[in-house]
Amino acid sequence: MRRRAPHEPLGALFVLACAALSSCTTASANGSGIHAIRHVIVIMQENRSFDHYFGTFPGADGLPMRDGTATMCLPDPRGGCIRPFVDHQDRNAGAAHSAAASARAVDGGRMDGFVAVAATSRRKCNDPTDPNCANGPRRPGRVMGYHVESDIPNYWRYAREFVLQDHLFEPVASYSLPSHLYLISAWSATCSDPNDPQSCRDDVVRERPRRDIATPYAWTELTWLLDRHNVSWAYYLDGGPNDGPNRAHGAGVPRIWNVLPQFLDVHRDAQLGNVQPLTAFFAAAQAGTLPAVSWIAPNFPHSEHPPALVSDGQSYVTGIVNAIMRSADWNSTAIFLAWDDWGGFYDHLPPPRVDALGYGIRVPGIVISPYARRGFIDHQTLSFDAYLKFIEDDFLDGARLDPKTDGRPDPRPDVRENQPILGHLTNDFDFAAPPRPPLSLPEHPQTTLIAPPHPRQPVPVDRTRRSRP
């Protein structure tokens, strides 16, 4: 079957028919369903749990409350226990968020180890993206803090107007590097021979990317399939003022968030030119020439990864979304916004088990599109594998990253996109409805966030009661 190009008009026969008729409805024009989406954009932010950002969102599976007070109280190694509390601080410390930290926080599904993990997290680390670190003073109770609508009004506005996903889980029970690998390849591995996909084996524990070779990732990722189906794509890096000649290495974007240029097949396919600075994204949006598939990775100040500011991340994301909404491509675009791991922050919902590697702790997810259902909360079980599945169904006739069929076999344990537990992102859209107009928001909204430096805010501690969630 021939695939349409990203900018080819939908339904050529329908257009010809409309020319001969007195009226044609938009609903009929959208009869192609998922193929109304010709541009998929994945914006990946950093290190926030669902409850940390949307724990009090009306109708969502958020923090269990009784009379306005959270019902759980997590053990504090210093004594007593700590309940979730509103934290208006713009700078949050987070806690360790490695594979080991995930296991301790989840604690067999009891979800009561977050404060204990924070209490033992390393401080004063040279690299703030080190998954064993907390980026702030030793105040472990801070991981129980959560933000409210007045802190992050734009994120909540997107959730109210479009789709909020309240069962989106990190694809792997670990930190940023494996999560970003899953985002584009549905696997995380270590390869004994960087030129041989069959030498790769499961690995979600590796805490630093390899620097001794340019292409440590030999297994197959999504752009391999996109290239073979002639589907355009780009991997945009928020490199700040230093992007340019070294853009493939993402000046300003940590290596653990900039994984695509480290895949062997990207080099062999001579596709490094598709790794571009964010300025190229804004130019494409303005010109109405966005590729079919885009991924956007932030630099550290815009990432929301502690100790980066929440306000800076929200402003950065709003600027990207506004640019898309001003584009001629808006009416055929789906934006998937998520955060790559929980960052040490509390979440009450135990993650489901999928194979031996996932899922990880729940993270926020938002769908923004002219076809997104208005004010809809998606309760399906999802992970980043669902993004791959959506792209594959839209542009690749349902082809999967499957060693049996993709032409570049590797020993991955399963085809994540085909997991029975994984929901369908098409449920977040109403393709029969006319496309909705843009919703442009201020990039620097008024908030109740408290800018640093600031006096220390006491953490509410219940010294008289211990309870498990």
Residues 382-426: pLDDT tens digits? 999 999 999 999 999 999 999 999 999 999 999 999 999 999 999
pLDDT of residue 206: 76
Percentage of the chain beyond pLDDT 70 is 87
pLDDT-based confidence at 248, cuts 50/70/90?
very low
Per-residue pLDDT tens digits for 321-340: 999 999 999 999 999 999 99
The pLDDT-based confidence of 346 (bands split at 50, 70, 90) is very high
Output the average pLDDT for the chain: 89
- Structure tokens given for 348: 């009450």
| Half-sphere exposure in the Cβ direction for 153 (13 Å, CA) | 10
Neighbours of 419 (CB within 10 A): 20
Query: Is the four-CA dihedral 272, 277, 283, 284 of positive or negative sign?
Result: positive
The confidence score (pLDDT) of residue 128 equals 86
Is residue 287 classed exposed, middle or buried when 0-12, 13-18 and 19+ CB atoms within 10 A define those classes? exposed
- In the numeric block, the tokens 């410390």 are attached to 93
The encoded tokens of residue 199 equal: 């030498």
Q: How far apart are CA 25 and CA 147, in angstroms?
A: 42
| Cβ–Cβ under 8 Å, residues 93 and 128 | no
User: Is residue 51 within 8 Å of 84, Cβ to Cβ?
Assistant: yes
Distance, CA of 129 to CA of 120 (rounded, Å): 17
Residue 319's pLDDT band, with cuts at 50, 70 and 90, is: very high
Residue 125 pLDDT: 81
If you search the block for the tokens 């991955």, which residue do you land on?
A: 412
Q: What is the pLDDT of residues 132-189, one digit of tens each?
A: 988 876 788 999 999 999 999 999 999 999 999 999 999 999 999 999 999 999 999 9
The strand pairing partners of 40, in sequence order, are: 293, 334
Tokens of 267: 């080099």
* CA dist., res. 223 & res. 189, Å (int): 18
Amino acid 29: pLDDT:
44
Instruction: Record the pTM.
Output: 0.89
Q: Is the dihedral of CA 454, 456, 459, 460 positive or negative?
A: negative
Report the phi/psi class of residue 342: left, alpha or beta, with left for phi > 0 and alpha for psi in -120 to 50: alpha
Q: Of how many residues is the chain composed?
A: 469
Residue 14 has a pLDDT of: 33
* pLDDT score recorded for residue 263: 97
Confidence of residue 210 (pLDDT cuts 50, 70, 90): confident
Can you tell me the distance from the alpha carbon of 200 to that of 189, in angstroms, rounded to the nearest whole number? 6
* Mean pLDDT value across residues 253-264: 94
Q: Between 8 and 107, whose confidence is greater?
A: 107
Residue 1 has pLDDT above 80, yes or no: no
Q: Report the distance separating Cα 467 and Cα 34, nearest Å.
A: 46
Mean pLDDT of 360-380: 99
* Total Cβ atoms within 10 A of residue 404: 8
**Mean pLDDT to the nearest integer, 438-460:** 80
Tell me which residue of 67, 69, 72, 116 sits closest to 96, measured CA to CA. Answer: 116
How many Cβ atoms are within 10 Å of 58's Cβ, its own excluded?
A: 12
**What local confidence, expressed as pLDDT, does residue 454 receive?**
53
Q: Does the pLDDT of residue 32 top 70, yes or no?
A: yes
pLDDT at position 251? 57
Please check the confidence at residue 36 and state whether its pLDDT lies above 80.
yes
pLDDT of residue 101: 97
| Bigger pLDDT: 21 vs 264 | 264
pLDDT of residue 20: 33
Longest dimension (CA), the chain: 77
Record the tokens describing residue 211, joined without a space.
């620097």
- How far is residue 129's CA from residue 306's CA, in Å, rounded to a whole number? 8
In the predicted structure, residue 48 carries a pLDDT above the cut 60? yes
DSSP letter string, 267-333: HHTT-GGGEEEHHHHHHHHHHT---SEEEEE--GGGS--TTS-HHHHHHHHHHHHHHHHTSTTGGGE
* Residue 28 confidence class, pLDDT cut points 50, 70, 90: very low
Answer for the pair 252, 243: CB distance below 8 angstroms, yes or no. Answer: yes
